[in-house]
Amino acid sequence: MTSSGQDTHVYTHLEELRRRLIITFASFLVALLAAFLYAKPIYNWLVSDVDGKLTVLGPTDILWVYLMISGVFALAVTIPVAGLQVWNFVKPALTPEERKAALAYIPALAVLFAAGIAFGYFVLFPMVLSFLKEMAQGQVETMYTADKYFRFMLNLTLPFGLLFEMPVVVMFLTKIGVLNPLRLAKMRKMAYFILTVISITITPPDFISDILVIVPLLILYEFSITLSKWVYRKQLTSAPAEVPQP
């Protein structure tokens, strides 16, 4: 291929990437606007367990709260869309079997993101909030602003939505040859350390809370390795001469 032909090829790929990014961003904006229309009832549901009403310190605070709520729902909608755009971008380099397998991962992105958000909201968030309330009980008068309350909620839930994507991401990267189970096993100690640090950082300073968060994350990592082995073995079966045995 000549230099001019290579430049044209690169330019075509960049244009395709740009188009995929625009579609993803446009999907996020549409989902954000749609979710914003229902932000008020969602807000009322999320604060139904709060003792008393939340306060605001400025006229635009409630707007930012509604945007935060809408943003999470928009992100949940956009993740599978982004996955589909990535699939379309790499599709020409995949075999028909790989295309079919990779496409099957996309619905799992939305399911696992929702599962991670649910874990953070229904398990971690009430546990940490209860711990902090007990610390403040009898010492200070508790009054939450809407902005800080929802920022605190998002800091505890959104990371788990992203972390729960780990199995699908690992399967996909194994499928295209970026990862393999041997490499993941060698990274186990480092991965355990990172996940433990994340868990201790976002949980109250007590052993039970740490265990309740660390254990699911470590299980998730081991589950990801198991899925990677399954994908890798299928590759070995289909092309034993091309894939090195770990």
**Residue 142 carries which side chain, given as an amino acid letter?**
T
What pLDDT score does 93 carry?
A: 78
What pLDDT score does 72 carry?
A: 93
What pLDDT score does 225 carry?
A: 92
Q: Show pLDDT as tens, one digit a residue, over the chain (246 residues).
A: 555 556 676 778 888 889 999 999 999 999 999 999 999 999 999 998 887 788 988 889 999 999 999 999 999 999 999 989 988 888 887 778 777 777 888 888 889 999 999 988 998 888 888 887 887 777 777 788 999 899 889 888 888 888 899 998 888 888 777 888 999 999 999 999 998 888 888 776 667 777 878 888 899 999 999 999 988 888 788 765 444 455
Query: 50: closest CA among 146, 135, 128?
Result: 146
Element (H or E) spanning 187, and its range? Answer: none
What pLDDT score does 241 carry?
A: 47
For residue 103 the two structure tokens come to: 């496409």
E-state strands within the chain: none
Strand, helix or coil for residue 135: helix
- With contact defined as beta carbons under 8 Å apart, do 145 and 56 qualify? yes
CA angle 97, 101, 104 (to 5 degrees): 145
Positive or negative torsion for Cα 29, 33, 34, 40: positive
What pLDDT score does 242 carry?
A: 47
CA angle 223, 226, 231 (to 5 degrees): 125
Strand, helix or coil for residue 48: coil
Query: 124: closest CA among 210, 31, 49?
Result: 210
For residue 24 the two structure tokens come to: 């993803």
> In whole angstroms, what is the distance from residue 129 CA to residue 52 CA?
15
Query: 191: closest CA among 232, 169, 221?
Result: 221
Q: Beta-carbon neighbour count of residue 135 at 10 Å?
A: 11
Q: What are the residues whose beta carbons fall under 8 Å from the beta carbon of 234, sequence distance 6 or more?
A: none
What pLDDT score does 78 carry?
A: 95
